[in-house]
């Protein structure tokens, strides 16, 4: 930008500026009064009168600004040199021209700016009058008009100065001086004519109301009074004054006349048109050579401001009323004096009465030591302008010595010229109950309720954090611990004893690992140990160190564990994987690491149990195979590769009394994939949840078709433990039934005994909610797991299904027959329905019939068949 025009133009401009002899002169009241007036009229903290004297911008008068000059390139005002037009900036911090300006980033941190060029009669831009503030604002048209008029006054002062210089050069000839003053006064009157502010000179009289030797044209607009009338007498002006303000104004004027102190007052006037308006008057008395006092001042209308202030007071009253009606406590802090106000609610929050003394001048003394630094840092960030609001959650000590969780919020409402905070207000809210709920929810979500150890979700998160932070050269390990034979113990001793043993195992493992290690329970009888840093050793490789540590854990578990009045020893299979680096040098994710440790553990169990196995690349093949199945299963869910088959259930009279829905997968390349191959993968990966939802959706549609055809027998679907444990499982089932209208009383959920092993209140609660919807429950593969009379008594079971492994030996195997007879007898005692699975010949049918088995399922009656043709057959048969 060519700030100074052509060399010739700049030379002419500099000569014109020099003619005022204003550069590098001392401060002068006429200019200082105008900058002061600018700050008062516009409500800004900074006002400057400056002149362009390349390479600097020099300030003749300044209010709220510490330096007397700036390099030209750092001056906001330079942008007006080429245009000669007024410049306003509402928020410099977001204006690309000024966002990186030093005065915006540092120092006064300028946000709002408005400047008017000072142009003399020759058309030269000499400098500017500008108003600045540290707060953003939207400049109004009235602001611009006032600033322009003030700039004209500055130029008038400059012109007056130049005239005075010229008069001095002419030996102060009286005639020239009078003409110059007359011209200046005339110009001032012309300039003031268009200002919304009434500018005046007032002279008090000892025998009358006094007069206004000079009154600008704005008196006509503001008060409906002619300046000519006021020059003769000030009486018409004083007659407009509100009766309650007349004596106050008189006394304040007389007092200032004696001391020659500046006068200021807010007053009301009854205007000729009937309106009552508020005004502010400001004036400075000066002693004339004849001993009289001449007042130079202005009047501005402030009705809008007064209304805004009243609205603010009313808003503050409403705010205070609202806060007093709430549980929040209000505080008000005078930062300069460290004085505090605390509302009654605030005092009650900490256990103090309204008139009781609160200990400590600084409320920070109540903050818990562990929370103090974070609390103070949050407040300092707000002080520094980094955070728009102060917010802190911390513990605070109450009068009774108890700690409460407090949410403290606040806002700095006053700052000094250097942006230092002066006053801050805010609230305190008791959030103890919310915090306790959050902590309880966190424990429920991330900790095992039986052992109080981290659960799988938290271990995965810890693994992820560790893998992200672990340096490439670091070596750690993960050990997967699976108890051998725990299910048999649970079955033999009962779940109460099993729970005691699991807690003892958790304690033994915790005692056997280092302080930096993390122990978690994955579920049932499985635990995981994270060793974040293996000891450095020149003799042993990292995997050997991890293997040795795992062996120590195995041996520790062999030592007798307390089990009631007895003791018990357990063996365990342990899988070890060293991380974070894989052979390829890449970092695995948390699930990769757990899968590797799980694969090694399964290898240890498959090769005899009670041993330690270290993960080897060969095991990766199995992991990758499962991974491929998992990926293909995701596509199968979306690509229509899955279907349902149905296997009917018959009464002894070979009447269909129900049917079980079975999922099948036809892969485009693999062909038919066995459920025994993909269901375990779905379980461990979590895909069993969307898979189960899909099955439930199909079951609902099938029930609707059967209902429409008049068929009343139920359909059974398998619900995995992982799907059942979903927090929203009941809600999803309820939504499905409401959305489809499917009959819930014809839907049976087949669940495994492993789910019942958990003995958690949530399992029973969810079962109760589902039964309330009309759904019934069946225990699948009954007799192979941990069944006990206790479960059948406690839980709302409708049906049990005898596993095919007990049916196969009938009628040749005495043991199988004894088990089946016992199950049937027990079922009658508990009034449970029974379905025998895997019935394949007439001899089995005869035995089951003889012993009162009511339901049969197996190849002897029907093989699984695709659902859709089966539905078509049943609906067609009914209609026929």
Is residue 159 located within the same domain as residue 101? yes
- CA 401, distance to chain mean position in Å, is 32
CA distance linking residue 37 with residue 624, whole number of Å: 81
Would you state the structure tokens that stand for residue 534, as one six-digit string? 């293996």
- CB distance 236 to 209 below 8 Å: no
Cα dihedral 608, 613, 616, 618, rounded to 10, equals 10
- pLDDT tens across 142-155, in order? 999 999 999 999 99
- CB distance 610 to 512 below 8 Å: no
Contacts of residue 328, Cβ cutoff 8 Å, sequence gap at least 6: 345, 427, 428, 429
Is residue 394 located within the same domain as residue 455? no
Peptide bond into 500 cis (omega under 30): no
Span of 27-31, 249-253, 537-541, 568-572 with lowest mean pLDDT: 537-541
Is residue 386 located within the same domain as residue 510? no
> Domain for residue 601, yes or no?
yes
> Domain for residue 621, yes or no?
no
Using 50, 70 and 90 to split pLDDT, how confident is the model at 586? Answer: low
For residue 662, which phi and psi values (nearest 5 degrees)?
-125, 135
pLDDT of residue 521: 94
Integer CA distances (angstroms), 214 to 81, 198, 301, 471, in order: 34, 10, 19, 83
> Domain for residue 797, yes or no?
yes
CATH of the domain at 22: 3.30.450.40
pLDDT of residue 1: 37
- Average pLDDT over every residue of 409-435: 90
The residue whose two tokens read 């400098």 is 127
> Domain for residue 600, yes or no?
yes
Integer CA distances (angstroms), 159 to 13, 19, 178, 213, 395, in order: 15, 10, 15, 22, 67
Three-state DSSP state, 57:
strand
Using 50, 70 and 90 to split pLDDT, how confident is the model at 717? Answer: very high
Beta bridge partners of 286: 294
Integer CA distances (angstroms), 413 to 332, 335, 388, in order: 10, 11, 11
Say which residue, 172 or 200, is predicted with more confidence. 200
> Which has the closest alpha carbon to 75: 103, 117, 109?
103
Is residue 408 located within the same domain as residue 489? no
- pLDDT tens across 497-526, in order? 888 889 999 999 999 998 899 999 998 899
For residue 579, which phi and psi values (nearest 5 degrees)?
-150, 170
| Rg of the chain (C-alpha set) | 45
Question: What's the distance, Cα to Cα, between the start and end of the chain in Å?
Answer: 95
Using 50, 70 and 90 to split pLDDT, how confident is the model at 2? Answer: very low
Is residue 552 located within the same domain as residue 413? no
> Domain for residue 794, yes or no?
yes
> Which has the closest alpha carbon to 662: 803, 405, 865?
865
What are all long-range contacts of 373-382, with beta carbons under 8 Å and residues at least 24 apart? Answer: 375/408, 379/410, 382/410, 382/411, 382/412
Total number of residues shown for the chain: 880
- Average pLDDT over every residue of 86-104: 92
- pLDDT tens across 614-630, in order? 988 777 677 678 888 98
CA distance linking residue 821 with residue 825, whole number of Å: 6
CA distance linking residue 119 with residue 419, whole number of Å: 33
- Average pLDDT over every residue of 18-42: 92
Say which residue, 80 or 189, is predicted with more confidence. 80
> Which has the closest alpha carbon to 635: 676, 605, 665, 672?
665
> Domain for residue 371, yes or no?
yes
Three-state DSSP state, 485:
coil
> Domain for residue 184, yes or no?
no
pLDDT of residue 787: 45
CA distance linking residue 176 with residue 163, whole number of Å: 9
> Domain for residue 131, yes or no?
yes
Residue 45 burial by Cβ neighbours in a 10 Å radius (0-12, 13-18, 19+): buried
Is residue 286 located within the same domain as residue 324? no
Domain end point (choices 396, 415, 437): 437
- Average pLDDT over every residue of 159-179: 74
Integer CA distances (angstroms), 714 to 659, 700, 704, 717, 748, in order: 7, 11, 11, 10, 7
Domain end point (choices 266, 301, 336): 301
For residue 64, which phi and psi values (nearest 5 degrees)?
80, 15
- Average pLDDT over every residue of 640-659: 92
Residue range(s) defining the domain that contains residue 659: 644-663+687-879
Q: What is the mean pLDDT of the chain?
A: 87
Number of domains in the chain: 5
Question: Is residue 583 predicted with pLDDT exceeding 50?
Answer: no
Is residue 657 located within the same domain as residue 600? no
- Average pLDDT over every residue of 432-440: 89
Span of 133-147, 166-180, 324-338, 378-392 with lowest mean pLDDT: 166-180
Question: Is residue 880 predicted with pLDDT exceeding 60?
Answer: no
Using 50, 70 and 90 to split pLDDT, how confident is the model at 684? Answer: confident
Sheet holding 526-531, edge to edge: 518-523, 526-531, 476-483, 572-579, 612-614
Using 50, 70 and 90 to split pLDDT, how confident is the model at 879? Answer: very low
CATH of the domain at 391: 3.30.450.20
Would you state the structure tokens that stand for residue 810, as one six-digit string? 């009938």
- Average pLDDT over every residue of 740-768: 83
Three-state DSSP state, 402:
coil
Span of 276-280, 354-358, 439-443, 547-551 with lowest mean pLDDT: 354-358
Span of 90-94, 281-285, 789-793 with lowest mean pLDDT: 789-793
- Biggest CA–CA distance in the chain, Å, is 144
Is residue 725 located within the same domain as residue 872? yes
Sheet holding 211-215, edge to edge: 211-215, 198-203, 293-301, 276-287, 263-270
Domain end point (choices 437, 470, 485): 437
Secondary structure (H, E, C), 157-198: HHHHHHHHHHHHHCCCCHHHHHHHHHHHHHHHHHHHHCCCCE
Question: Is residue 333 predicted with pLDDT exceeding 80?
Answer: yes
Beta bridge partners of 563: 566
- CB distance 409 to 390 below 8 Å: yes
Question: Is residue 876 predicted with pLDDT exceeding 90?
Answer: no
Three-state DSSP state, 641:
coil
For residue 472, which phi and psi values (nearest 5 degrees)?
-55, -35
- Average pLDDT over every residue of 349-363: 79
pLDDT of residue 187: 65
Is residue 35 located within the same domain as residue 161? yes
Is residue 431 located within the same domain as residue 506? no
Contacts of residue 180, Cβ cutoff 8 Å, sequence gap at least 6: 160, 163, 164, 166, 167
Among 13-22, 729-738, 797-806, the range of highest mean pLDDT: 729-738
- The DSSP annotation for 709-763 comes to TT----EEEE--HHHHT-TTHHHHHHHHHHHH---GGGEEEEE-HHHHTT--HHH
- pLDDT tens across 381-407, in order? 999 999 999 999 999 999 999 999 999
Say which residue, 368 or 291, is predicted with more confidence. 368
> Which has the closest alpha carbon to 733: 766, 706, 709, 763?
766
User: For 130, how many CA atoms within 13 A lie in the half-sphere containing its CB?
Assistant: 30
Beta bridge partners of 648: 659
- Average pLDDT over every residue of 81-108: 90
Is residue 599 located within the same domain as residue 697? no
- CB distance 600 to 562 below 8 Å: no
> Which has the closest alpha carbon to 427: 523, 287, 325?
325
pLDDT of residue 263: 94
Is residue 582 located within the same domain as residue 500? yes
> Which has the closest alpha carbon to 645: 807, 799, 797, 857?
857
């Amino acid at each position: 930008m060519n700030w100074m025009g052509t060399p010739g133009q700049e030379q002419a401009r500099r000569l014109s500026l020099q003619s005022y002899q204003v550069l590098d002169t001392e401060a002068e009241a006429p200019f200082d009064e105008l900058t002061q007036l600018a700050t008062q009229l516009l409500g800004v903290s900074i006002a400057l009168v400056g002149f362009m004297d390349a390479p600097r911008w020099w300030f003749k008068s300044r209010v709220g600004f510490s330096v007397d000059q700036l390099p030209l390139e750092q001056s906001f005002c330079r942008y007006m040199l080429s245009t000669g037009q007024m410049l306003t900036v509402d928020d410099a911090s977001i204006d690309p021209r000024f966002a990186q300006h030093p005065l915006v980033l540092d120092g006064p941190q300028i946000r709002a700016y408005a400047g008017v060029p000072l142009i003399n009669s020759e058309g030269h831009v000499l400098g500017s009058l500008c108003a600045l503030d540290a707060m953003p604002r939207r400049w109004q048209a009235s602001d611009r008009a006032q600033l322009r008029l003030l700039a004209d006054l500055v130029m008038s002062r400059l012109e007056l100065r130049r005239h005075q210089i010229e008069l001095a050069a002419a030996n102060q000839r009286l005639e020239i001086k009078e003409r110059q003053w007359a011209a200046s006064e005339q110009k001032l009157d012309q300039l003031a004519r268009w200002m919304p502010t009434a500018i005046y000179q007032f002279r008090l009289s000892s025998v009358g109301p006094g007069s206004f030797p000079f009154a600008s044209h704005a008196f006509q607009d503001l008060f409906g009074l002619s300046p000519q009338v006021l020059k003769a007498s000030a009486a018409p002006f004083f007659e407009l004054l509100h009766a309650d303000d007349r004596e106050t104004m008189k006394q304040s004027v007389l007092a200032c006349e004696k001391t020659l102190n500046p006068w200021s007052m807010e007053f009301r006037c009854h205007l000729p048109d009937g309106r009552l308006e508020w005004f502010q008057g400001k004036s400075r008395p000066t002693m004339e050579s004849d001993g009289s006092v001449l007042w130079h001042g202005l009047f501005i209308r402030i009705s809008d401001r007064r209304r805004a202030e009243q609205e603010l007071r009313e808003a503050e009253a409403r705010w205070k009323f609202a806060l007093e009606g709430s549980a929040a406590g209000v505080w008000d802090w005078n930062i300069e004096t460290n004085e505090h106000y605390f509302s009654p609610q605030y005092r009650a929050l900490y256990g103090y009465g309204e008139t009781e003394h609160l200990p400590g001048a600084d409320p920070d003394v109540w903050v818990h030591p562990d929370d103090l630094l974070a609390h103070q840092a949050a407040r300092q960030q707000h002080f520094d302008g980094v955070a728009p609001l102060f917010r802190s959650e911390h513990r605070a000590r109450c009068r009774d010595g108890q700690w409460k969780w407090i949410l403290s919020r606040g806002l700095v409402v006053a700052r000094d010229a250097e942006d230092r905070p002066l006053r801050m207000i805010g609230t305190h809210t008791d959030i103890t109950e919310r915090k306790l709920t959050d902590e309880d929810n966190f424990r429920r979500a991330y900790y095992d309720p039986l052992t109080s150890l981290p659960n799988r979700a938290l271990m995965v998160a810890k693994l992820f954090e560790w893998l992200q932070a672990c340096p490439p050269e670091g070596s750690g390990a993960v050990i997967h611990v699976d108890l051998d034979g725990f299910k048999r113990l649970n079955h033999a001793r009962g779940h109460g004893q099993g729970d005691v043993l699991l807690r003892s195992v958790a304690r033994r493992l915790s005692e056997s690992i280092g302080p930096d290690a993390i122990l978690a329970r994955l579920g049932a009888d499985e635990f995981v140990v994270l060793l974040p840093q293996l000891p450095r050793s020149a003799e042993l490789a990292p995997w050997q160190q991890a293997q040795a540590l795992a062996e120590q854990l195995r041996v520790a578990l062999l030592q007798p564990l307390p089990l009631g009045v007895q003791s018990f020893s357990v063996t365990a299979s342990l899988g070890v994987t060293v991380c974070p680096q894989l052979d390829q040098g890449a970092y695995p994710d948390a699930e990769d690491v757990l899968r590797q440790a799980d694969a090694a553990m399964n290898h240890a169990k498959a090769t005899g149990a009670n041993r330690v196995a270290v993960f080897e690349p060969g095991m990766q093949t199995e992991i990758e195979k499962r991974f491929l199945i998992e990926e293909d299963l995701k596509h199968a869910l979306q690509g229509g590769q899955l279907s349902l088959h149905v296997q009917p259930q018959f009464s002894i009279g070979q009447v269909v009394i129900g049917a079980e829905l079975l999922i099948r997968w036809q892969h485009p390349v693999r062909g038919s994939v066995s459920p025994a191959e993909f269901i375990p993968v779905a379980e461990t990966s979590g895909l069993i949840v969307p898979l189960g939802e899909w099955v439930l959706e199909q079951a609902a549609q099938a029930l609707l078709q059967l209902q429409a055809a008049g068929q009343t027998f139920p359909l059974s679907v398998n619900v995995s433990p992982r799907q059942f444990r979903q927090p929203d499982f009941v809600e999803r089932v309820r939504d499905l039934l409401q959305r489809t209208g499917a009959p819930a009383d014809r839907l049976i959920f087949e669940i495994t005994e492993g789910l019942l092993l958990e003995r958690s209140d949530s399992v029973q609660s969810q079962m109760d909610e589902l039964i309330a919807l009309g759904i019934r429950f069946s225990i699948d593969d009954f007799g192979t797991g941990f069944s006990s009379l206790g479960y059948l008594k406690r839980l709302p079971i409708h049906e049990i299904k005898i596993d095919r492994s007990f049916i196969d030996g009938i009628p040749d195997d005495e043991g199988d027959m004894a088990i089946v007879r016992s199950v049937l007898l027990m079922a009658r005692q508990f009034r449970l329905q029974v379905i025998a699975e895997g019935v394949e010949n007439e001899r089995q049918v005869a035995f089951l019939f003889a012993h009162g088995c009511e339901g049969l399922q197996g190849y002897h009656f029907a093989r699984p068949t695709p659902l859709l043709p089966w539905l078509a057959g049943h609906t067609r048969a009914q209609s026929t």
